[in-house]
Amino acid sequence: MNKQEIKKIENQIFCILNGYLKKNDIVILALSGGSDSIFLLNMLHLFSLSKKIKVIAVHINHMLRGDESDKDEKFAENSAKNLNLGFIAKKINIKDIARKEKKGLEECGRIERYKFFKQTLKKNKAKYIFLGHHSDDNLETIILNFTRGAGLDGLAGMQMQEQNLLRPLLYFSKAKIKDYLKTRKIKFIEDKSNKDTKFTRNFIRIKIVPLLKKINPNIAETISANLKNLADTNNFLQEKADLWIQNNRINTNTLDIKILKKEPEIFQKIILRRLIGHIKGNTGNIENTHIDETIELIKKNFGNKLKKFKGIKVYLKNNQLSITLL
């Protein structure tokens, strides 16, 4: 990568950041120490020199790899402090939490990370939580969601902005990020657990994505560039569903089936998924089969019916459908 290419990448990132940040803003950066977050750390540092924003890097030590986890934490701390940026670290025993809550390590780690990021955001009155997701991550997410039977929102992939979450690297490939770091001689760490294919996302990245790249070497960037139309369609439908829920629900978690059945079935499904999202906080584990089963309850609308899914229960009684947490 030559100087002109380096400058082009920096200008592209700065153009994105300028659309979201202004002078004296405070931002949180999720810093693992890997190539993506180290790249973003350096971009935010360069941007802060002219824009005068405050960057606080946050590192979560999952305590899964003993001394290696501690070394990663120290590397992240040194990386932030060498650039005179703020740094906060937290140790979380993910294995214990996952066992107690009967969740997978991947899911539990993600939940605990985001929980602490949001706590830090609120405590420091920050504007955004910056995440280092890139186009390859987005491709993996779409494949994962597709195989699990996700709705339109899952197939639209990650968005650059989701409330106070910001992903400015979504249109950049992993290869381009690493090439930049190599040229700039900026060190980063490789998490050995990322090579363990017992984790679903790792399996997709290591086994599936390389096969797709044989068809199109730039498939991750190509898909990311073409996702906007799908994301816009999804956002439009979600807004319509939210408005419908606001105008028609009986209470926070209950719908009148007779009114719902007047809508096309595809829109009923979007409404149900949105209502579940409002109640549960997310729809990550809600698959199309769960929504389809709920639609079947609505079609039959006979007697008292109860269905239990991942984290929620759906109850049908007296022409009313109620969704509550388990």
Domain ranges of the chain: 3-223, 249-325
Q: Is 167 in a helix, a strand, or coil?
A: coil
Residue recorded with tokens 């405050």: 54
User: 297, 316 in Cβ contact below 8 A?
Assistant: yes
The pTM (predicted TM-score) of the whole model is 0.78
Where do runs of H (alpha helix) occur along the chain? 3-18, 35-51, 67-81, 94-101, 105-123, 135-148, 152-155, 174-184, 200-203, 209-215, 219-248, 257-260, 265-280, 288-300
Query: What DSSP string runs through 78-97?
Result: HHHHTTT-EEEEEE--HHHH
Q: How far is CA 122 from CA 23, 82, 106, in A?
A: 19, 25, 25
What fold, for 3-223?
Rossmann fold (3.40.50)
Return the ∠ at Cα 316 (arms to 313 and 317), rounded to 5°: 135
Q: Which of 67, 76, 56, 61 lies closest to 189 in space, CA to CA?
A: 76
- Cβ–Cβ under 8 Å, residues 13 and 168: yes
The pLDDT tens digits along the chain (326 residues) read: 888 999 999 999 999 999 999 999 999 999 999 999 999 999 999 999 988 999 999 999 998 888 989 999 999 999 999 999 999 999 999 999 998 888 888 888 888 999 999 999 999 999 999 999 999 999 998 898 888 877 777 788 888 988 899 999 998 989 999 999 999 999 999 877 778 888 888 899 999 999 999 999 888 888 877 787 788 888 899 999 999 999 999 988 899 999 999 999 999 999 999 998 888 877 767 888 888 988 988 887 766 777 787 778 888 888 888 988 87
Count other Cβ atoms within 10 Å, centred on residue 287: 18
**CATH code at 249-325:** 3.30.465.60
